[in-house]
Structure formats: C-alpha cells, structure tokens
Structure 1
Amino acid sequence: MEKSKEVLQLEAANRELQIQLEEANDIIHAIRSGEVDALVVNGKDGHQLFTLKSADQTYRIFIEQMTESALTLDQDGRILYCNSRFATLCTVPLEKVIGMKLLDFVLEEDWIFAQDVIDAAWEIDTRTELNLINSEQEKITVQLSLKALDLDEGTALSIIITDLTELKKHQLLLQVRNEQLEEARQVADQLNSNLENIVSLRTAELELKNDELKIANGYQRKMNTELSIALERLKESDENLQSAFNAGELGSCRVDLTTGKADMSPRFRLLYGLPEDEEIDWAMVVSAIEPEYVAEVTRVLEACATSGTPLDSTYPIRHLASGERRWMRVVGKVKTDKDGNFASVYAVIMDVTAQKQDEQRKNDFIAMVSHELKTPLTSMKGYIQVMQLKAKGNDNAFAVKALDGAERQITKMTNMINGFLNISRFESGKMVIELQRVELSAIVEEIIEEYITTGSNHEIAYNCLPGLFINADQNKLGHVINNLIGNAVKYSPFHSKITIDCLACDQNAIFKIKDQGMGIPKDDLPKLFERFYRVESSQMATVSGFGIGLYLSAEIVTRHYGKIWVESEIGIGSTFYFSIPLDRD
C-alpha cells in the first residue's frame, strides 16, 4: 500500500531534523576540538570572517544565539555559565540558574544515571539522551554532549544540550503512522486473499463490539454508582463548609451584576437585619450602609462589573432592625458567564466591629500622644530659633550649624507626628476633603519650585501639560505630590535625574514621577501602600521612616476617586503614578 502524503511529509521532516542535529553536533565538536578556528557571519555586504581567538565577543554572541543550550559546570556539578537558551528551556530566570546544580533540572529517578554521565565526561567526551524537567514540572527529552575543558582558571565541563522534544514527537507520530499503515496493509491483504475470512473477521469484530458494549454498560453502571457517591460527598462537603461558616460567624452572598439581585445566606441576613425569607436585591443591602460610605462601596462594585476586580471592602452599617452600628468586611471574587462577561460576585462577609474598635482605640491613643507631643516640640522650635538669632549675632558658626541641625530634626519629628495625626483623622472620618476646581500643573510647579530654590542635590525635569483641571483639595493633593517627590529624592543617588510628567489619558489626569534609585522588589509592590509597611533590605535600613507617607497618599487619592500605583525594577529605578478624573466643565 502506498504511503499517504502526511506520512511522507513526516518522514521528510524527521530526516531534516536528524540532519540538522548531526550538523549542529559536528559544528560544536569541531569548535571544541580546534578543527575550526573561525566563525563566518552573514552581513549586509556579504560574508565576513572572524577568528575565534580574535573575536571573543563574536563567539560569545554565537554561543548566546545558538539554538542549542550551552553551559559550563565546575567539579561539583554547579553551573558556572549558561546561555539564555538553557534558562528559557527550563523556564527559570537566567540570573537564578547560575550557581544551581545541573541535577536540579534532572528528574529525580534519573539522578544516579545523570551523575554517572557527568563523572565519565571528565575523562572522555560523552554523548547521551536524558530527561530534564522545567520549573512547570514538564519533562523535556534532550541530548547532552559533554567535554572536559582545560582553562586558565582550571578544568571545567562544557555541555551542549539539544532539545529533542520535536524530534521525539515526529518519531512517535511517524511510528504510529507506520503501525497504522502496516495494520491497514495487513487488513487489505487479508481482505483480498479470502472473502470468507473477511466475513469471519467482521463477525468476530461484531462479537467483540458486543463484548465491549457489555463492558461499557458495566463501566457506565460503575460510573453512575461513583457519581452518586461523589454527589453525597459534595453534599457532605457543602454541609461541612456551612458548618465552618457558622462556626466562624461568616455570611455569604451572591450578587448578579446584571440584575442586581442578591442571594444571601441566613447569617448575612442576620448581620444586616434583612428579612429572613423575602427576596433581596442590592438596593436593600445598600440601605443599611452608612451614607458617607455608599459611594465607595458602589465604586468597588462597579470595578467588579467592569474589570473583574476582586472584591475587598470594609464599611460601617446600621442594623436594619436594631439600628446598631457595626463594621463589615466583604471579600469576594468575580465569576464570568459562558461568554466571558463578568456576571456575578460571590463573597464572604464577616463582622469586624471588634477589630475596628481596637484600631480606633489605638488611633485615639496615637492621636492623643501626637497631639501632646506637638506643644513641647513647638516650644522647642521657638527656643531654638531664638538661640539661632543670638548665635548668628555672636557670629558663632558652630552653634548656628548645631542649632540648624536641631531645627531640622524637630521639623522631621513634627512631620512624622502630623502623619500619625492624619492617619487618625482618616480612619476616624474626621479628615475633610474640600474639593474645588484646580489645575494640576499649578500645584506641581509650585512644589517643584520649592525643591529647586532650596538647593536640591538632584536634577529635576518636569513636563506638565497645561489645562488639566480636576476637582481636588489643593493642600491634600499637594501633600501627595510633595511626598512622592520627597521619596524620589530620598531614595535616589545625589545628582541623579528625577523626571515628572502630567498628562491626560482616558478622561483622567495622570501624574507620573520617575527616579533612578535602588528600585523595589516585585514581592513588595502589592504591599507598598499599606499602613506602616516598609521594604526590608540592607539599603532601606539606612533610610528613616515609618511607612505612613505612601499609605496617606493612597488614602487621599482614593478620596479623590482616583488610583495610585507603581512600577519598579531593581537597580534601574521606580515610577510612581496617580490618576484623578478630569473636570471637563
């Protein structure tokens, strides 16, 4: 029987892969053994010849861009060098690969074999196949070509790794196709040789199918039994989950984002004072929320409906039956329908009144202590200013310098105390945001001018688009901008560049500040705007602060119906943004 077009194509592809693999191995062997001492690179003007000895950089580029993975091991089997191809193959960042052992990327059951191959390669050039495993626990079949190298720094083991995954797939597919072709040929020969055999074969096949059908029916009955058991276990699991909810005094709810209808658990209804048996919609839930928090809760729910943002909101309510004021925290996830639209929110609700009361007592204590500290600090600052005048009159340079330092420290303490007081005001609802129509560039330029006139040690460049009018509390938004600029100055090297931009995007005014500082680790970015959170590092240990500046900035931006976020790369710098809706009137 003639081979199909697909089988012929597979055989051709397999031969081509084999040829490419043999050519690559021959080239690598020739380079290692010194049989070639030059590398030809195609350029725009034709072929250009570079000798390996005189073109080390070109050789490194060749190694980096070759389709095979290349790495070097020391005597302990640790990776001294590898190209990016190997890091990509193992789905591990390149900077983490160096220093790891090759055995870290080998299946555990192949460790002994792999170690034997490595040990043997120190004495004789070795080539073998091996199964590696990447960070996603996927098995990768490769060919290893190992050779010991005598370098100036000592002996190292060079390894070229060729990914055989596609070759194996083609070989397996070709084998399957050949088996199918052989089976078809045998059937055809049998059909051509004897019609009675065909009838017997068909009869036997029908009997076999009947047997298989009987087995399938038995299997179906078994599956039905297992399904019934699974349903019983699911029911038991639901009951256990509900018991856990009851034990934790948690409520649950599901809100349809299209219709606004809500399905509440009995505990949820009890927490809000909602009717036990009647149908409930979201408007009934909102009626229990204290008025000043309704806008924020509505905004969070709209974010769920428009972008699928996870739900996490804390707000006070008035119990619809008793009128008691309680604090609730709702945490949930958005679910999509079959078309991928954000359809509903499933959430868990908990009563956090006790925690809020504890926080309030703590905030009251901080506010009281901070308030009590302000008076003596103000007096101290006044005395120091008087002493500064006298010291300047007496031309006492040392005293002037010392008193200037003392005044700076008192100012720093005053700013920290004001920060604690602002936190207390925010969390107690006593911080008032007075919105008025202002131009963003005017606020920014005024603050930048202060930094320039006070002799900043940094190069500050700014480009603020005029005409970006917003509804904002100028003083409090100025506090945010001043804090972001201050952080850029604090965490950047002297004389480095700080770039500030103001622009418009999607009906929002965007403030952007980019520095060339130390950068922030990715794991710390989601927590950066939390209260009292500071990045833990040896560099940060030398910079003072309590982790309240960014928290206050985030609270102020949120009260302006905006967003604040950050992008950062270690050793490159950070870029902070905040957006405020534009006022088009």
Structure 2
Amino acid sequence: MPKRPRSTKPRSPRKSGTYRALRKRLLEAEQTLQAIRSGEVDAIVVGGPGGDRVFTLAGADHDYRVLMDEMSEGVATLAKDGLVSYCNARFASILGLPAERIVGSTIFGILPSAAKERVAALLQAGLLTVSKGEFELGGEDGAVKTVLISVSKVAMDTGITQCVIATDLSEEKRREQEVAAERAERDAALRASEERYRQIVETAVEGIWLVDTDGRTTFANRALAEMLEYAPSDLRGQPIFDLMNEESAAAARRFLGRRRRYSELREFGFRAKSGREVWALLSMSPIEDHRGRYLGAVVMVSDVSDRRKLQAQLMLADRMSSLGTLSAGVAHEINNPLAYVIASLDLVADRLPEIASMLGREGGQFLEQQVQRAREGTDRVRKIVRDLKSFSRADEETVTVTDLVKSLNTSLTLVWNEIKHRARLVKDFDRLPPVRANEARLGQVFINLFVNAAQAMPEGNIEHNELRVVGRTDALGNAVVEIHDTGCGIPPDHLDRIFEPFFTTKPVGEGTGLGLAICHGIVTSLGGTLSVQETAVGKGTVFRVVLPAAKSTAESVHLAPRLVPRPKRRGRILVIDDEKDLTDVTREGLAGLHDVMTTQDARQALEWIGAGARFDLILCDMMMPLMTGMEFHMRLATLNPEQADRVVFMTGGAFTPRAREFLARLPNLRLEKPFDLGHVLSMVNAHLDIASRPASLGVGEEETHAVPS
C-alpha cells in the first residue's frame, strides 16, 4: 500500500489519536484480505454484540481432508460423547470396517467389547494429555491387528473434540517377531557352539591356557589344572611364570615377550602344587584384536614328563649297557695278569719250605706272611672282578641254579660304599637253599633293594642306623630274604604305588622311578614275590623277597678241590695264550706231573697238530689278537675233530655276544681266569684218569718243557 505524504500542518491531539487507530484497523484489514487471498487462513473470527463468531471459508479445509485421507496412519475425530464425526480411509482399513459404518457411530460400538474399558480410560486420559495404548483388534475380515491408538484433545469451532490416531503395528510386530526368532535361533546356535567348544576344551587331553599381556592366567581348562594339581579357579590370575622352575620362567618371559605372529613349540619345567616336577611341551600363539594389538596368548600344554623319564631311562640303560661292556673288558684285562700273579704265588707257596731253609727261620716266616697277604689281596681282586663279570652279564636271560647266599654277598660287596657311611650292616643268611634264577638279574634285585634301604637312612648316624639282611626257609621250603632298615619309612598313601613304573619320591635327578618296578617284574618272573612286609614313617621298612627253592642242585658251580690227587699217568698238555707270563707260570705249575708245551700264537699250535703232534688237553685262551680261541677251535675241528674235543677254553670274560653264543653251543670244558694251579691240576688229572689212551707228543717230543719262539 503506497505511503501517504506526511502532512506538515499541526494537528490537534484528538485528531492525531483517531487517525492512528483508523490506520491500525485499516492495516489489519489489508493483512486479513491478503491472508484470505493466499489461502493462509481457513476461517475468520469476527467479534460483535453477540460475541465472537467463526466464519469458515468455503473449500478452505479441502486440502487438509485430502492430506488426512492419504496419511498412512488412521485418523478419526470424536465428539465429547465418543461419536465419530470423521475418519480417514486408513482408519477404516485398520479397523476392517467401511467408513460409512464408522462415521456416525460411537467408538465403543465399533471396537471389540474386550477393548471398550481400556478405550474409555484412554479417552478420559486424552482430555488432559496425549495418551497411548496398544490393542489387538479384529475386523469383519477376521484379521487380528496390533494397533497403537493415540488420543489427544483438539479445540474446534464446534467445541472440544478428541483426535484419535491409529497406527497399524502388525507388520512391525511381525518383523520384530521374525527378528526375535532369528536372534533366538542365532543365540541357540551360539550357545550350542559355545557348549561344544566348552566340552572340547574341558575334555581335551591337552591343557589349554589363556594368559594376558602380563602372562597372568585368564583361563585354564581341567586337564591343565589336574596336570599341575590345582583347581581351575585357583590358577585364575596367577602368572604363568610363578608356576615354572627358575630357568623355565626366564625362558618363558623371553618366549612370550617376542609376541610372534605364529605359534612356537618349546619344553618348560613346572612345579605342581605338591612340589612334583612336571615337564610340558608348550605351543604359544598370540591373541590380537582387530587392530592388531597384542592381547595375550593361547597356550596348548602337553605333559611330557613320562616321555622325559623314559628318555632318561633309555639313556641310563645305554650307559649301563656301555658300563657292562666296559666292565667285561676291564675284567678280561685284569684277569690275564691276575691269573699269572695267582699262579706265581701258588708256585712260591709250594716251594716255601725249600726257600725258608735258605732264608732261615725268621726270613721264612716273613716270606710266608707276605705270600699269604699277597694271596689274600689277589683273592679280593678276583672276587671284585667276578662281581664285575656278573654285572656285565645282565643281558643274559639264562636261568640256572643259583647260590642265593653268594648272590647276597656279591650284591652287598658292590653297594658297600653306599652303606658304610650310613648304617651298620648285619648279615643273618648263612643257610639258604639255592634258587633257579639268572644270577645277574637276581643281583640287580638285591642291589636295588640294598641301595634304597641305605639311602632311606641319613649319613653320619651309623651308631643308630642299621641295615639288616635276614635269610630263612619258610614252611613250604621257599627261600625268604628280608631287608630291614631304620630309615624314613614309606607314607601309607605311597604303598599302593611304589611298584608302579616312574613313581619315585626321590629328588629330581636321583631316581627314575623304575627300580622297584623292574625288581618286582624280575622276582615275579622267577615265580616269587616282592612285597613291603612292614613300614612306619620315621622308623623304617622291611622288604621281603620270596623265591621257590631249586628242585636240584646238579647245576651248582664246581668248587676247586682242596687236595690234588696225583694222576695215574703223565699227560701231554698244550697251553695257548697271548700272555707269555701266564703260559710260563702254567707250565711251571704243571711241569712236575705232566709234559707241557706252550705258545702265544694259536696258528703255531695248528701247525704242530697238522704235523702230527697230539695232546691229552689243550688249554686255549678265548680272546687273542692274532687268532682267537673260536677261530682256532673251528680250524682244529676241520683238521682233527678228536683234538678239538680236547680243547679247554680259558676266558677272562667272554664279553662279546658272539663269544657267549660260541661257548654256550660247545660241550668243551671251560676254565675261568684267574685260576689257581690246584684247580687246573685237578681238572687235568681227572681228565687223564678217564682218557681212553695216551696221546703221542709228536713234534718236540724230546723237549717236554719247550717254549716255541
């Protein structure tokens, strides 16, 4: 509206105020007309003497009606008494009724009776504020829908009206149910998967260990907990390093510190709750988040303690085998010089009266004492070597009639160093029946029992400690040996396990746990029993060995006779040994009663026999450098079988399997080194007495004591 030119004439106050009021009303009228023209208003409220009146513009609400009819929510308006004055098509669709039936009806007449009470409460609340509620509504088409009804108050020209907005939630509810069903299915599958994995983890033979970045336990399965003798909950929070020995803990820190992206394998030593050492093979794999940050590690744990014990036992068996071979070799090397030392002492002893007459009484007595002392010393050496040979034959399984008293004494001799600093030894087993056993295996049993008994008693308390070995024959004729010690005793909870392989209470490195198990197996294989007769912690233990007595003593070892009878005739003897001192002293010992030839080379002997020489006996060493006794006998058996039958093998220890097999196959006599001349003379004389005819000396006949060069 164009502005009017401002007047410059002065105006009166009355005229000025009237003008401003008229101008204001004119401006409002102009704005109203503009709003009507632009469709910004639907109705005009006009004040008058009878009050304000509302004038609705014709067609002004048409657009709004179209908009409501196209809405996705159902809309209806209700009068104060619940009469439906308007509803859009969507409202009718949601209720499943035609709009004509709805409009003009009360809301209570078109809703299910079950919903009427709640709808009434909702309408009442809607007079104060917006109120909502969900309803299950069924239409004439039979479909049941979940409907959200929202009621609000609206002031209109006809009075207070309530607007009802209905939203069909059926599809949303269906989707929610589908999503919930899918989620429930996924959750069930996840729970089933978790249960399967839990069962796999809990029933796994291997230990499964989860640790965080500091090496602290976040999870340990049952196998791991049992391996270390803990409850799984006890391990939670414990650093893995605290359960290891010192060396393994340092290595594990370096191991985990590298945080490799691939798994690594390594063995570590742990301490179980009881203090028992456990060796385990660990496979460590890192755990990382989606950004590659290190969160910890999963550790697979395999108990390899038994495998390590078995490896240690195999190494021990290998060392023992090597020691056995070494012992046999040492015995052989000692026996050769020892044989001629003993033989020389025997010769001196035989001539003592003659020598004493030349030395005088005092000189003769002195010489006799020294010879006797030397013979006692050599006898001790002979016994030690014999024990070494017995030890070296531990792999022989031949069972023979065995002198049990001798086996006990031999075993005690071998372990004396273990006993003498710990306890007094009391022996009470003079009379025991012989048993059928392998001498070396039986010795192994007693050695193990004696060592265990000794080690059960501390050193330095000899006057209070005692190891007593008692032997007797029970009512059934069995041989019974009991080993009593005053040591630490055996705890009751260990009694059922002491014969189990690998069970040991000794500190690490002092036992494999196989000794008693092996002993039990040996005794059982002999038809006997090994048991703990009695024990008390802090007081001692009694082990009992029961073995059936041998039915016959025909296989007992031959003892050298004290008296040597003179032969009925003079014999012809050949001595073959690479030790010249031994052949010389043997010749000296036999020369008084027999004609003797000696050589250090078996090939020379074959030449003599091939040239026609014959001998009543051929004493031949088994192990010689140029030609062994075995080779000599095989050649001689081809050359002259009758002379081969007259061979007596001298051996300081047949320590090769081939030599043992060879001797076991032949019926020829055997002479164990070191021997005394009395035993050799007895054997030669006994053989000559049963010989059918004398042998012809042949080559060298005129030189009865010749020593071939």
TM-score by length of 1: 0.26
Question: Which one scores higher on RCO, CA 8 angstroms, separation ≥ 6?
Answer: 2
Q: Which has the larger radius of gyration?
A: 2
Structure with the largest fraction of helix: 1
TM-score by length of 2: 0.22
